[in-house]
Chain A
Amino acid sequence: MLSLILISIAALFFTGIIIRTKSIASGRKGPGILQPVFDVLKLFRKGSVYSETSGFVFRIAPIIYFSSVVLAMLTVPFGASKGFISFNGDFIFFAYVLALGKFFSIIGALDTGSSFEGMGASREALYSMFAEPAFFILMGSLALITGHTSFQEIFSTLHLGSSITYAIAILASFVLLLIAMIENSRMPIDDPKTHLELTMIHEVMILDNSGFDLGLILSTGYIKFAMYGALIFNLFVGLIPYGYAILIFFALQAFLAILIGIIESFIARSRMNHNAQFIVVLSSVSLLIFFGVLLVLGKFI
């Protein structure tokens, strides 16, 4: 339960910090850190416009998208403290629940009958598909090294001893960070600040969403960031006492947000047809982790 509260709090400021970092990097002062939350709160109270083409699917999609991420968030532990959901193989459940949300957000976009939204939906489906194996290979390697198969057990028994394990943990956080970037349609893959519909992925999918639905979709993005941040935190937490761990948690989340802000400020979005290659590289980094694990276990031939 602890993780639920902490992730929710982190979600409040995560995106704000990213935006603030980007503003400062580009020489502006930028909005307050809680501005994204205010935006969402304002959207919740606004009226909405629905496309006349759209039907039931378009209306239910944001809700399912949001619920799926909330449920996925419940599986994430906080160090030794279990998430609300914890069982052997819960990371499979985590990935598939997120996939359910994605399924609905894609068909929600297709429901408007807009060519742009179809384009975004197609790209979202393709790129998130490529990110899946990286996550599974990573979690499989961690399961292999710890001998456990649930998030909480994996993370609480993951002891960082030798130098190889540190390398593994750093590579793993790299993979998780990039998965978070892909899942949230951030820079190397997608540019949230782009102005041309043809070059967007996520933003173009939600062109027709407005009011409460848009608020839900935006807050889903905030939660997703904090959720992956929490996963990265779990890689390092080990058995640090809670008091320190909470501090480290927030420090790490802020650090990640600043890092993402800096990455976004100084890197251009890659060309659409290079995205797939980029994401496949991620899987090979995961494979590297796997071989590292084999090395640690002494099973490498």
Chain B
Amino acid sequence: MANLLNLTWVIVFTGLLILFFVPSKLKWFTAMLTVVLTAFITSTLAFRAIMGNPFSVVFDGGVVAGNVLIRIDQLSAWFILIINFTSITGLFYGEGYLKAYTSEPRKLSLHWIFYVIFQLSMIWVCMIQNGLVFLIAWEIMSISSMMLVVFEGHKPSTIKAGLNYLVQMHISVVLLTIGFIWLYFKTGSFSFDAFSQYFAAFNNVGLFMIFFVGFGLKAGFIPLHTWLPHAHPAAPSHISGVMSGVIVKLGIYGILRVAFNLKSEFFVLGEILVVVSVLTSLFGIINAAVHRDIKKMLAYCTIENIGIIGIGIGIGLIGVGANNPILYFLGFGGALLHVLNHSLFKSLLFFSAGSIYQQTHTRNMDKLGGLMKSMPRTALLFLMGSVAIGGLPPFNGFISEFLIYSGLIEGLKLQSSVQILIMLLSLAGLSIVGGLSILTFTKTFGTVFLGTERQKSVHKPHEVSILMLIPQYFIVAAMLTIAFFPGFYIDFIGRILTSLSFRPLISGVQPFGNYPDILGNISFYSFVLIILIVVFALIRKLVTARVTRTISPTWGCGYTVPSSSLQYTGKSFSKSLSKMFNFVVIERKQYDELNRTEIFPEVREYKSHYFDFFEYRFIKFMVNRLIYSANYFNFVQNGRVQSYILYGLVFMLIVFLLTIFRIVR
């Protein structure tokens, strides 16, 4: 087995070498072979792990890292399978998406080289069970994904987004490093096994919160989410899809990995997690509802879904604390299933948004419209993604949201009234999130695909190539299997959750209780819904077979010169909402007031931008203060070599004196 693992290294490095030299037409093919082979090998291992043969091997990490444990247990396996699926669909979609760049071999080879590294690093992040080496893999993952984001590096905005991402990821790394060093000093080991040792002996809250913030930066919990809405629009769409689908989920993986070792304080941590997650969800979806940049909207929607996953994790922790196995299964199970679901429909949505961008060269939905006629397949795919992400039956989003809802409702049976209140308010919050996501996605789908074109484009949009559609069909197929055969996935998740810690809680308990049957019911009734739709459609066909059908212009309520610019825009669709939540979504408008003396008004512009509350109010504020105070130390960096040498001398002198007087030993 260890040989197989080493084989992935060999494959990837030969792949990288070949990628460097082959002509640009073959670059994708080489990357594809590498990624698919790696995915095949690691998926086999992961599959065996879920079926009950965890795989582990120990490498010698030298003096610093000690023994490096590489292990694919059930939790890693779940994430590895998700990573592999999304990377492969992203890879195939990316080939079609980047067709226009065939003339730029340098860009392409850089891109595909980092794509291959990126996939491998993500897999290794899931396998390494040693803090120090984990950080290295984590860092490689962050940097390679940053390099993928800045594909269009000639645009300053892209570089800015990339740097923003890089800086924030390093804040995350700092926190993780602090966490691992703390762990090392208390237990003397970097290994992940030291977690349970630590949590058994010391207070759980501090260390968990450090890791929660560190991993939460990657996952995008508020107020740590500000990189997402910048990085996703800047990246090429297949990268946004993969990032939103899996990179963000690795933050969740990290949180789960730490959380499964907790020994006490479940209530406090679970409650914190649930509250933060509900707020994250609400914040994400309210922002998603008002933004008009499709990819920014999707990025905020990712934040919302991370919140939903977080609610699941919180419920699970509370369940462990309350010694309530069904809560444990519903919470963590819902979270794990939603990780899979979200990776599917979010990558689908990003891919179809990418198709729109490729054809129309704009991400502003208020400039689009009527694309259903020119891109019917993309429209249908986007529609299915929208219905699924809204958590509506008959798609897969409902299955995982149902598990989390059920967790909240089961949580109402808890003893403490504070917890009951939290559960009930989360229930209400989650229902608002559901309602708002319907608003968001009807807005997006409606403005982009329905009605008529809002701006005449020179280049007529048409359906994208089959190579870009096939991966999306695969994703839809996977989504439908979850929606109609949830039992299979629930069984998988049940195995994962029974294999992990908290053994006394779940020993002898049927995973998920009777929920597999209920989920079976749901799929059956979703099927009934489809049958009902078909039956009623047939009835309509029969009844209206003989009557006349007329096609005429849309009813203009008496107005006789309709124009496509009169259509309701995405901005106006969510206007009342943004007004209602103007304390969260900050709108800045730019326009010239009409002058009293201006008899013949000139053409004027109206601009409106939405700003992120946390970025605008807190992060910008803090950064400005920091720059302000740092300015006082400007004199230190004066560009004179002499002074730099002086600094060195002073430093050495200090060290010398400190050692001489035995202040530092």
Which residues on A are within 8 Å of B, measured CB to CB? 44-57, 60, 63-64, 66-68, 70-71, 85, 87-89, 92-93, 95-97, 99-100, 102-103, 106-107, 110-119, 121-123, 125-126, 128-130, 132-133, 135-137, 140-141, 143-144, 147, 149, 197, 207-208, 211-213, 216, 272-273, 276, 283, 290, 294, 299-301
Lowest 8 CB-CB distances: which A-B pairs, in order?
A118-B568, A129-B435, A110-B446, A113-B451, A133-B428, A47-B548, A67-B532, A47-B547
Q: Is the CB of B424 within 8 A of A137?
A: yes
- The complex places the Cα of A212 from the Cα of B515 at a distance, in Å, of 40
Which residues on B are within 8 Å of A, measured CB to CB? 369-370, 372-373, 376, 383, 386-387, 390-393, 398, 401-402, 405-406, 408-410, 412-413, 417, 420, 423-424, 427-432, 434-436, 438-439, 441-443, 445-447, 450-452, 514-515, 517-518, 521-522, 525, 528-529, 532-533, 536-537, 540, 543-544, 547-557, 562, 564, 566-568, 572-577, 580
- The complex places the Cα of A208 from the Cα of B553 at a distance, in Å, of 10
With both chains docked as a complex, state the minimum distance between the C-beta of A127 and any C-beta of chain B, in angstroms: 9
With both chains docked as a complex, state the minimum distance between the C-beta of A253 and any C-beta of chain B, in angstroms: 24
Of the residues B386, B540, B548, B566, contact of A115 by C-beta under 8 Å:
B566
With both chains docked as a complex, state the minimum distance between the C-beta of B147 and any C-beta of chain A, in angstroms: 38
Given A50-B550, A114-B556, A123-B576, 16 further pairs, Cβ under 8 A = A50-B551, A67-B533, A85-B525, A89-B409, A92-B406, A96-B391, A99-B392, A103-B441, A115-B568, A122-B568, A130-B432, A147-B413, A207-B555, A207-B557, A273-B576, A276-B576
With both chains docked as a complex, state the minimum distance between the C-beta of B257 and any C-beta of chain A, in angstroms: 30
Q: Is the CB of A125 within 8 A of B439?
A: yes
- The complex places the Cα of A273 from the Cα of B557 at a distance, in Å, of 23
Question: Which residues of A have CB within 8 Å of B439?
Answer: 122, 125-126, 129
Of the residues B370, B391, B533, B555, contact of A63 by C-beta under 8 Å:
B533
Provide 10 A-B residue pairs closer than 8 Å at the C-beta atoms, listed in order of the A residue: A46-B547, A48-B549, A55-B450, A103-B442, A106-B446, A113-B370, A118-B446, A122-B576, A140-B424, A143-B412
Smallest CB gap from A110: residue in B: B446
Q: Is the CB of B420 within 8 A of A294?
A: yes
Question: Which residues of B have CB within 8 Å of A97?
Answer: 392-393, 529
Question: Which residues of A have CB within 8 Å of B536?
Answer: 63, 66-67, 216
Q: Is the CB of A143 within 8 A of B576?
A: no
User: Of B423, B427, B438, which is in contact with the most chain A CB atoms at under 10 Å from its CB?
Assistant: B438
- The complex places the Cα of A128 from the Cα of B441 at a distance, in Å, of 15
Q: Is the CB of B577 within 8 A of A110?
A: no
Of the residues B392, B547, B562, B575, contact of A45 by C-beta under 8 Å:
B547
With both chains docked as a complex, state the minimum distance between the C-beta of B446 and any C-beta of chain A, in angstroms: 3
Q: If A89-B406, A129-B432, A140-B427 touch, does A53 touch B452 (CB 8 Å cutoff)?
A: yes
Q: Is the CB of B412 within 8 A of A113?
A: no
- The complex places the Cα of A102 from the Cα of B446 at a distance, in Å, of 13
User: Of A48, A113, A130, A290, which is in contact with the most chain B CB atoms at under 10 Å from its CB?
Assistant: A113
Smallest CB gap from B520: residue in A: A87
Q: Is the CB of A129 within 8 A of B451?
A: no
Interface of A is mostly: helix
With both chains docked as a complex, state the minimum distance between the C-beta of B16 and any C-beta of chain A, in angstroms: 45
Question: Which residues of B have CB within 8 Å of A63?
Answer: 533, 536-537, 540
Q: Is the CB of A276 within 8 A of B580?
A: yes
- The complex places the Cα of A135 from the Cα of B432 at a distance, in Å, of 11
Q: Is the CB of A60 within 8 A of B537?
A: yes
Q: Is the CB of B451 within 8 A of A111?
A: yes
Of the residues B427, B525, B574, contact of A122 by C-beta under 8 Å:
B574
Question: Which residues of B have CB within 8 Å of A115?
Answer: 566-568
Q: Is the CB of B572 within 8 A of A118?
A: yes
Of the residues A48, A113, A116, contact of B564 by C-beta under 8 Å:
A113
Question: Which residues of B have CB within 8 Å of A53?
Answer: 370, 451-452, 553-554
Q: Is the CB of A212 within 8 A of B543?
A: yes
Q: If A123-B576, A133-B428 touch, does A113 touch B521 (CB 8 Å cutoff)?
A: no
Q: How many residue-residue contacts, CB under 8 A, span A and B?
A: 252
Q: Is the CB of B533 within 8 A of A64?
A: yes
Question: Which residues of B have CB within 8 Å of A125?
Answer: 435, 438-439, 442-443, 573
- The complex places the Cα of A256 from the Cα of B573 at a distance, in Å, of 34
User: Of A102, A115, A130, A141, which is in contact with the most chain B CB atoms at under 10 Å from its CB?
Assistant: A115
Question: Which residues of A have CB within 8 Å of B376?
Answer: 56
- The complex places the Cα of A116 from the Cα of B18 at a distance, in Å, of 59
Question: Which residues of A have CB within 8 Å of B522?
Answer: 87, 93
- The complex places the Cα of A170 from the Cα of B11 at a distance, in Å, of 69
With both chains docked as a complex, state the minimum distance between the C-beta of B451 and any C-beta of chain A, in angstroms: 3
Question: Which residues of B have CB within 8 Å of A60?
Answer: 533, 537
With both chains docked as a complex, state the minimum distance between the C-beta of A164 and any C-beta of chain B, in angstroms: 16
Q: Is the CB of B428 within 8 A of A137?
A: yes
Of the residues A46, A57, A88, A121, contact of B406 by C-beta under 8 Å:
A88
Question: Which residues of A have CB within 8 Å of B431?
Answer: 95, 132-133, 135-136
- The complex places the Cα of A178 from the Cα of B376 at a distance, in Å, of 39
Q: If A70-B532, A121-B446 touch, does A52 touch B552 (CB 8 Å cutoff)?
A: yes
Smallest CB gap from A106: residue in B: B442
Q: Is the CB of B576 within 8 A of A211?
A: no
Smallest CB gap from B408: residue in A: A140
Question: Which residues of A have CB within 8 Å of B566?
Answer: 115
- The complex places the Cα of A126 from the Cα of B540 at a distance, in Å, of 30
Smallest CB gap from A50: residue in B: B551
Q: If A67-B533, A115-B568 touch, does A93 touch B402 (CB 8 Å cutoff)?
A: yes
Smallest CB gap from B430: residue in A: A136
- The complex places the Cα of A89 from the Cα of B452 at a distance, in Å, of 41
Q: Is the CB of A110 within 8 A of B568?
A: yes
Question: Which residues of A have CB within 8 Å of B540?
Answer: 63, 212-213, 216
Question: Which residues of A have CB within 8 Å of B406?
Answer: 88-89, 92, 149
Q: Is the CB of B576 within 8 A of A111?
A: no
Question: Which residues of B have CB within 8 Å of A136?
Answer: 427-428, 430-431
Q: Is the CB of A49 within 8 A of B550?
A: yes
With both chains docked as a complex, state the minimum distance between the C-beta of A89 and any C-beta of chain B, in angstroms: 5
- The complex places the Cα of A272 from the Cα of B452 at a distance, in Å, of 28
Q: Is the CB of A208 within 8 A of B555?
A: yes
- The complex places the Cα of A279 from the Cα of B370 at a distance, in Å, of 33
Question: Which residues of B have CB within 8 Å of A137?
Answer: 424, 427-428
Question: Which residues of A have CB within 8 Å of B430?
Answer: 136
Q: If A55-B373, A121-B446, A132-B435 touch, does A113 touch B452 (CB 8 Å cutoff)?
A: yes
Q: Is the CB of B450 within 8 A of A107?
A: yes
- The complex places the Cα of A208 from the Cα of B540 at a distance, in Å, of 17
Question: Which residues of B have CB within 8 Å of A57?
Answer: 372, 383, 450
- The complex places the Cα of A100 from the Cα of B388 at a distance, in Å, of 10
Question: Which residues of B have CB within 8 Å of A100?
Answer: 387, 392-393, 529
Q: Is the CB of B438 within 8 A of A299?
A: no
Question: Which residues of B have CB within 8 Å of A276?
Answer: 576, 580
User: Of A92, A111, A119, which is in contact with the most chain B CB atoms at under 10 Å from its CB?
Assistant: A92
Q: Is the CB of A140 within 8 A of B409?
A: yes
With both chains docked as a complex, state the minimum distance between the C-beta of B192 and any C-beta of chain A, in angstroms: 36
Q: If A63-B533, A137-B428 touch, does A110 touch B372 (CB 8 Å cutoff)?
A: no
Question: Which residues of B have CB within 8 Å of A299?
Answer: 417, 420
With both chains docked as a complex, state the minimum distance between the C-beta of B5 and any C-beta of chain A, in angstroms: 42
Smallest CB gap from A141: residue in B: B424
User: Of A46, A111, A276, which is in contact with the most chain B CB atoms at under 10 Å from its CB?
Assistant: A111
Q: Is the CB of B424 within 8 A of A48?
A: no
Smallest CB gap from A46: residue in B: B547
Smallest CB gap from A45: residue in B: B547
Question: Which residues of B have CB within 8 Å of A71?
Answer: 525, 528-529, 532
Question: Which residues of A have CB within 8 Å of B408?
Answer: 140
Q: If A118-B446, A149-B406 touch, does A87 touch B521 (CB 8 Å cutoff)?
A: yes
Q: Is the CB of A149 within 8 A of B547?
A: no
Q: Is the CB of B427 within 8 A of A47?
A: no
Q: Is the CB of B547 within 8 A of A114?
A: no
Question: Which residues of B have CB within 8 Å of A46?
Answer: 547
